[in-house]
Amino acid sequence: MVRVIAEAGVNHNGDRKMAFDLVRVAAEAGADAVKFQTFNAERLADMSAPKASYQRHTTDVLESQLEMLKRLELPESWHGELQSYADSLGIVFISTAFDTQSLGFLQSLDLPFYKVPSGEITNGPLLLEFARTGKELIISTGMSTLAEIEQALAVVAFGYCRDQAPNSLEEVWRFWSTADGRNAIEQKVTLLHCTSQYPTPMREVNLKAMDTLVGAFGLPVGYSDHTQGIAVPVAAVARGAVVIEKHFTLDRNLPGPDHRASLEPDELATMIRQIRDLEEAMGKGGKHPQPSEWDTRQAARQQILFSRPVKKGQVITQEVLTTARCGRGISPMGIWDLIGSTAARDYEAGEVPE
């Protein structure tokens, strides 16, 4: 079953009630998990850090990235309450950490798995700490090359299996080249194809990259979507995505960097419903009549009939046979076996050969 992660992210806008409403909306839509972001703005960015272009278009252009992030922090005191509320609604609460201190705090909540954001795929020390949790990791690969993804996986494998930090990057690669290194991530890591642009233009989605990731690393692959609408994540499921992550908001017109590229509540529910319908429609792959087809099969297929009267002992020829729908008898595929045989009794036109 595809795991659907409803990405609340920073769309709470620093408003406690809005954060709780986002959890409720995700649960009502049928998501498996609702995800926030946990960071300390001053640890994540300094005053000189520029905003991404989409952030400049959706927030105050005179505001620095640091100032923006400070407004969007999720207070630590909210986390446990949001987790309890999510539990009460039957949805998993998770959050993405952007620094080691934030990850340490999230560990106190005993989250079932962790999501590594695209921006941290080259952050070796943080990747090592993610792996040291021993938990399942879902790693987004936006902005990444295959080489960067492999390097990240090598660090994660090392972190899963070694208590100490590596002495060098070469030590990481040496471990990655062993069977133990490769096996370390097989049951614990899922990769998400992603394009880190909000919203993502259709020409830059590149869903076929999912196949490339499967071929390169042999790991489960999902898709983190930043397009507008729901067509692309549903298509990703058809291509084999095992995880879908999608931003959502209470109102796309709210101020903030991610609202415009997010789904509103009814759209989120529609996306999840279509994913579930598609999963059911995909089936098991065997080709055979479905239970509902048997009645149609009987009604829609033709059988062999005599086209004119035939006497007992008469040699049956093509000229005395025809086909029509009658719901019983021999398939037209058997007509050649009848030709040349003799009639076992008298038949009237329209009767079925025995």
Q: What percent helix, strand, coil does the chain show, rounded to 5?
A: 45, 15, 40
Report yes or no on 188 lying in a domain: yes
Q: Are residues 18 and 160 in the same domain?
A: yes
Q: Are residues 259 and 326 in the same domain?
A: no
Report yes or no on 143 lying in a domain: yes
Number of neighbours of residue 353 by Cβ within 10 angstroms: 20
Contact 23, 34 (CB under 8 A): yes
Q: Are residues 126 and 104 in the same domain?
A: yes
Q: Are residues 265 and 301 in the same domain?
A: no
Higher pLDDT pick, 330 / 59? 330
pTM for this model (two decimals): 0.88
Q: Are residues 327 and 225 in the same domain?
A: no
Q: Are residues 230 and 258 in the same domain?
A: yes
> CB under 8 Å to 325, separation ≥6 — which residues?
299, 300, 301, 302, 303
Number of neighbours of residue 273 by Cβ within 10 angstroms: 13
Q: Report the domain count for the chain.
A: 2
Report yes or no on 227 lying in a domain: yes
Q: What is the CATH number of the domain that holds 31?
A: 3.20.20.70
Higher pLDDT pick, 104 / 51? 104
Range of the domain at 195: 3-282
Q: Are residues 89 and 109 in the same domain?
A: yes
Residue 46 in this model has a pLDDT that exceeds 70: no
Per-residue confidence band for 258, with pLDDT thresholds at 50, 70 and 90: confident
- Is the peptide bond prior to 166 cis by the omega test (within 30 degrees of 0)? no
Rounded to whole angstroms, how far apart are CA atoms 335 and 11? 69
Q: Which of 149, 88, 93 is nearest to 116 (CA)?
A: 149
Report yes or no on 298 lying in a domain: yes
Per-residue confidence band for 40, with pLDDT thresholds at 50, 70 and 90: confident
Q: Are residues 263 and 320 in the same domain?
A: no
Contact 40, 76 (CB under 8 A): no
* 169-to-124, 175, 179, 282 alpha-carbon distances in Å: 9, 10, 18, 43
Q: Are residues 55 and 101 in the same domain?
A: yes
Q: Are residues 219 and 135 in the same domain?
A: yes
pLDDT at residue number 45: 65
Question: Of the residues 243, 260, 282, which one is the last residue of a structural domain?
Answer: 282
Intra-chain end-to-end CA distance of the chain, in Å: 49
Residue 62 in this model has a pLDDT that exceeds 60: no
Q: Are residues 298 and 278 in the same domain?
A: no
pLDDT at residue number 59: 67
Q: Are residues 70 and 173 in the same domain?
A: yes
Report yes or no on 346 lying in a domain: no
